[in-house]
């Protein structure tokens, strides 16, 4: 598994669905210098755990927007599958009402570049292509800063849903550090004391 933290987020241009519209040549590069990005992968449309995550991001979208964060989802499904799922009511297993972009990684190159693609492609002794497992994305999540650099990543196996609260906490921690130059200790929450990046600051924090 590649660690992308501290590196430029891999660039891509792909089709995406935003609301009722299919967009050509969608890219995260448009947000450099303008917005933070939470870019997350999920395994498949029309599944069980995935809609709980996608709906939860939508429920908290105002929290992300208040932090100048653009939420973007991605899976290896086609744009037509995304569109159909977005037009399926929630009570029938759909994600109707989700308004943030869903990228279609039909060629699986984006998941490969972010190193969240499950399954393996190999050649047998006769040079025939063999695939082991399903070529779908793990539950990867990447926080990308205003410079287009990955500052946080987490990758869950497919049965394990993520925490929106933790995602927002990490956004808050990054923005606190950028604004105040203070580092954030374990379980830090917005409004808590942080630490200056020197021995005196650490001593002051630990003495409280």
Query: Looking at residue 122, what is its pLDDT?
Result: 62
Residue span(s) of the chain under CATH 3.40.30.10 come to: 14-161
| Catalytic positions, written as ranges | 50
Query: Looking at residue 185, what is its pLDDT?
Result: 87
For the domain made up of 14-161, the CATH class stated in words is alpha beta
Calculate the alpha carbon distances from 141 to 8, 35, 208 in Å. 15, 16, 34
- Checking if the pLDDT of 45 tops 60, the result is yes
For 48-88, write each residue's pLDDT tens digit: 888 999 999 999 999 999 999 999 999 999 999 999 999 99
Burial letters for 49-86: b for 16+ Cβ neighbours within 10 Å, e otherwise?
bbbebbbbbbeebebbeebebbbbbbbbbebebbbebb
Helix (H, G, I), strand (E, B) or coil at 160: coil
- Checking if the pLDDT of 190 tops 80, the result is yes
Laid out side by side, the sheet with 21-26 consists of 21-26, 14-18, 102-104, 69-75, 36-41, 139-144, 150-156
Q: How far apart are CA 207 and CA 203, in angstroms?
A: 6
């Amino acid at each position: 598994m590649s660690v992308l933290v501290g590196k430029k987020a891999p660039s891509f241009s792909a089709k995406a669905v935003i609301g009722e519209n299919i967009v050509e040549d969608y890219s995260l590069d448009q947000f450099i210098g303008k917005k933070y990005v939470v870019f997350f992968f999920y395994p498949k449309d029309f599944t069980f755990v995935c809609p709980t995550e996608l709906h939860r991001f939508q429920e908290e979208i105002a929290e992300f927007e208040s932090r100048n964060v653009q939420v973007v989802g991605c899976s290896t499904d086609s744009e037509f599958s995304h569109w159909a799922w977005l037009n399926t009511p929630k009570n029938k297993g759909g994600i109707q009402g989700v308004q943030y972009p869903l990228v279609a990684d039909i060629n699986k190159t984006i998941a490969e570049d972010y190193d969240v693609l499950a399954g393996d492609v190999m050649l047998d002794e006769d040079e025939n292509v063999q695939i082991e497992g399903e070529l779908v994305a793990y539950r990867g999540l990447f926080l990308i800063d205003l410079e287009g650099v990955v500052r946080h990543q987490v990758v869950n196996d497919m049965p394990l849903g993520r925490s929106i609260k933790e995602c927002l906490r990490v956004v808050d921690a990054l923005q606190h550090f950028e604004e105040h130059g203070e580092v954030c200790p374990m379980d830090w929450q917005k409004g808590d004391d942080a630490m200056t990046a020197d021995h005196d600051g650490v001593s002051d924090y630990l003495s409280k």
